[in-house]
Amino acid sequence: MTDRIRQFLRRHREDGPRLVVDLDVVRSNYNAFSKALPDTRVFYAVKANPAPEILKLLNDMGSCFDTASMGEIDLVMQAGGTPDRISFGNTIKKEKDIAAAYALGVRLFAVDCEAEVEKIARVAPGSKVFCRILCDGSGAEWPLSRKFGCAPEMAPQVLEHAHKLGLVAHGISFHVGSQQNNVKAWDRALKTSGAIFREMAERGINLSMVNLGGGFPAQYLRDIPKVEEYGQAIFRALRKHFGNRIPETIIEPGRGMVGAAGMIEAEVVLISKKSATDNQRWVYLDIGKFGGLAETMEEAIRYPIRTEKDDDVMAPCVIAGPTCDSADVLYEKTPYLLPVSLEIGDKVLIEACGAYTTTYSSVAFNGFEPLKSYVI
Ligand X SMILES: *Cc1c(COP(=O)(O)O)cnc(C)c1O
Q: Of the candidates 17, 50, 81, 89, which one interacts with ligand X according to CB under 6 A? A: 89
- Residue nearest to ligand X according to CB distances in the complex: 214
Set 64, 131, 324, 353: catalytic member: 324
Looking at the Cβ atoms of 47 and 170, the one nearer to ligand X is 47
- The whole-angstrom separation of Cα 92 and Cα 89 is 9
- The whole-angstrom separation of Cα 65 and Cα 55 is 9
Sites for ligand X among residues 32-51 (CB under 6 A): 45, 47-48
242 contributes a contact to ligand X by CB under 6 A: no
- The whole-angstrom separation of Cα 42 and Cα 34 is 7
Going residue by residue from 121 to 160, which x/- string records binding to ligand X, judged by CB under 6 A?
----------------------------------------
Active site residue 317: no
Q: Of the candidates 46, 50, 63, 66, which one interacts with ligand X according to CB under 6 A? A: 66
214 contributes a contact to ligand X by CB under 6 A: yes
170 contributes a contact to ligand X by CB under 6 A: no
Under a CB-based contact definition with an 8 Å cutoff, are residues 291 and 321 in contact?
yes
- The whole-angstrom separation of Cα 30 and Cα 35 is 9
Looking at the Cβ atoms of 79 and 218, the one nearer to ligand X is 218
Q: CB under 6 A: which stretch of 199-207, 212-220, 270-278, 367-375 binds ligand X?
A: 212-220
Under a CB-based contact definition with an 8 Å cutoff, are residues 24 and 2 in contact?
yes
Closest among 75, 164, 168 to 124, alpha carbons compared: 168
| Residue 290, helix vs strand vs coil | helix
Sites for ligand X among residues 297-356 (CB under 6 A): 355
Under a CB-based contact definition with an 8 Å cutoff, are residues 172 and 208 in contact?
no
Looking at the Cβ atoms of 72 and 199, the one nearer to ligand X is 72
30 contributes a contact to ligand X by CB under 6 A: no
281 contributes a contact to ligand X by CB under 6 A: no
Under DSSP, the state recorded for 133 is B
Closest among 128, 115, 191, 139 to 163, alpha carbons compared: 128
Under a CB-based contact definition with an 8 Å cutoff, are residues 371 and 359 in contact?
no
292 contributes a contact to ligand X by CB under 6 A: no
Q: Please name every residue paired with 281 in a beta bridge, in sequence order, or none if there are none.
A: 317
Catalytic residue set: 324
Residues found near ligand X in the complex (CB under 6 A):
45, 47-48, 66, 89, 175, 178, 213-216, 252-256, 355
